[in-house]
Amino acid sequence: MDNGQRTMDNEEEKKGKRNALPQTSSLFHSPLSIVNSPLTNSCPICGGNGWVVNTEGKTEQARRCQCFMEKYRQRLWEKSGVPKNFRNCRLSNYDVYKTDKNKRTVDNDLSIPKEICANFANKYPVIEQGLLLMGTIGVGKTHLAVGIIAELTLNKGVPCLFYDFRDLLKTIQSSYDPRSQISETSVLEPVVNAEVLVLDELGARKVTDWMLDMLTHIINKRYNDKRITIITTNYVDNPLQKEEESLTDRVGYRIRSRLCEMCVELQIKGKDYREGKKSKFNFNF
Ligand SMILES: [Zn+2]
């Protein structure tokens, strides 16, 4: 079993980055490290050991059984950190309808972003950039981001990590408390190394200078390592009301301009916004 596992991992490593099998995120060292409960003994294909050996051809080749992969993908989803109240969010149940004078019609301001997110998930890992989902509260940005995580983990076996921006700051902050047992590295490593990171509600909390440094470190490291990041934020670049803050006001110019390079921007219009501005989608999937 051990030899087989090593062979499998080496083969997968050769295929390069962002393949369908586990990466070296600290959360997910190997399929076995997360599928830690016994496999079902009732599997008629592998008898419960999780491997299928192909004896056709000159050499025997072992591959993971379907029952193992299903369990592995389910565990990726459970371990992704998606909060309970978003667990039912899927791209398929994202509501794209609007009701006007008792007539229910598809709202393009919602259906186009949904389509872009679905294309993103379908094409992964053959993509170059992540997504920056911008828009006012209630347009379903988190729903879309979680929907992508569900697609990637449950259908493609891609390890993903969901982190609420405020929770991330809180955790980083606690790592600086000398009484805390949490080290800075143990907090940052999973976030920096996650194959796909969803950072939810960017800018939802005003950041101090050192928090900004930490955040810049995370974003820059992921950018340099060509890791895919999906970000949601209630802040836009040009708010309708003058007194409202922009995303740059919240997270600074350095991070905002870095996000331009590493993410495709997707503005999802709330009702107020739709009335104020024409739709604009800027994407290339
Ligand atoms: Zn099996």
Q: What is the pTM of this model?
A: 0.81
Residue 285 lies in a domain: no
Q: Over the stretch 46-56, which tens digit does the pLDDT of each residue have?
A: 988 899 998 88
Which residue range(s) make up the domain with 12? 2-78
Q: Over the stretch 119-166, which tens digit does the pLDDT of each residue have?
A: 999 999 999 999 999 998 888 999 999 999 999 999 999 999 999 999
Ligand 1 mean position to 53 CA, how many Å? 11
Residue 282 lies in a domain: no
Token couple for 107: 């709202």
248 has a pLDDT exceeding 50:
yes
Contact 158, 150 (CB under 8 A): no
| Greatest distance between any 2 Cα atoms in the chain | 72
Residue 281 lies in a domain: no
Domain boundary residue among 54, 78, 102?
Answer: 78
**pLDDT classification of 269: cutoffs 50, 70, 90:** confident
Ligand 1 mean position to 49 CA, how many Å? 7
**pLDDT classification of 81: cutoffs 50, 70, 90:** very high
Ligand 1 mean position to 69 CA, how many Å? 9
Residue 67 lies in a domain: yes
* CATH number of the domain where residue 137 is located: 3.40.50.300
d(CA 162, CA 156): 17
d(CA 165, CA 160): 16
Ligand 1 mean position to 155 CA, how many Å? 17
State whether 180 and 270 are in the same domain: yes
Dihedral sign (CA 249, 255, 260, 262): negative
Ligand 1 mean position to 118 CA, how many Å? 30
Ligand 1 mean position to 116 CA, how many Å? 35
Domain boundary residue among 43, 78, 113?
Answer: 78
At 129 the pLDDT is: 96
Ligand 1 mean position to 52 CA, how many Å? 7
State whether 90 and 63 are in the same domain: no
How many domains does the structure of the chain reveal?
2
Residue 283 lies in a domain: no
Ligand 1 mean position to 4 CA, how many Å? 15
> Locate tokens 């934020």: which residue?
233
State whether 147 and 40 are in the same domain: no
Ligand 1 mean position to 35 CA, how many Å? 13
State whether 90 and 230 are in the same domain: yes
Ligand 1 mean position to 14 CA, how many Å? 25
Residue 265 lies in a domain: yes
Residue 267 lies in a domain: yes
40 has a pLDDT exceeding 50:
yes
Render the burial of 76-88: b for 16+ CB within 10 Å, e for the rest: bbeebbbeeebee
Contact 152, 71 (CB under 8 A): no
d(CA 104, CA 97): 6
Ligand 1 mean position to 42 CA, how many Å? 8
Ligand 1 mean position to 31 CA, how many Å? 14
Render the burial of 236-250: b for 16+ CB within 10 Å, e for the rest: beebeeeeeeebbeb
State whether 62 and 164 are in the same domain: no
State whether 179 and 90 are in the same domain: yes
Nearest to 133 by CA among 268, 279, 237, 276: 268
Ligand 1 mean position to 37 CA, how many Å? 14
More confident residue, 207 or 76: 76
State whether 16 and 65 are in the same domain: yes
> Locate tokens 């870095």: which residue?
258
2 has a pLDDT exceeding 50:
no
Ligand 1 mean position to 70 CA, how many Å? 9
Peptide bond connecting 44 to the previous residue in cis, omega within 30 degrees of 0? no
State whether 178 and 201 are in the same domain: yes
Ligand 1 mean position to 220 CA, how many Å? 41
d(CA 239, CA 236): 6
State whether 48 and 178 are in the same domain: no
State whether 174 and 97 are in the same domain: yes
Ligand 1 mean position to 73 CA, how many Å? 14
Render the burial of 26-49: b for 16+ CB within 10 Å, e for the rest: ebbebbeebbeeebeeebeebeee
d(CA 80, CA 84): 11
Domain boundary residue among 36, 63, 78?
Answer: 78
Residue 246 lies in a domain: yes
What is the separation, in whole angstroms, between the first and last Cα of the chain?
A: 41
Ligand 1 mean position to 145 CA, how many Å? 31
State whether 150 and 219 are in the same domain: yes
State whether 160 and 272 are in the same domain: yes
Q: Over the stretch 174-215, which tens digit does the pLDDT of each residue have?
A: 877 777 676 777 778 899 999 999 999 999 988 888 888 889
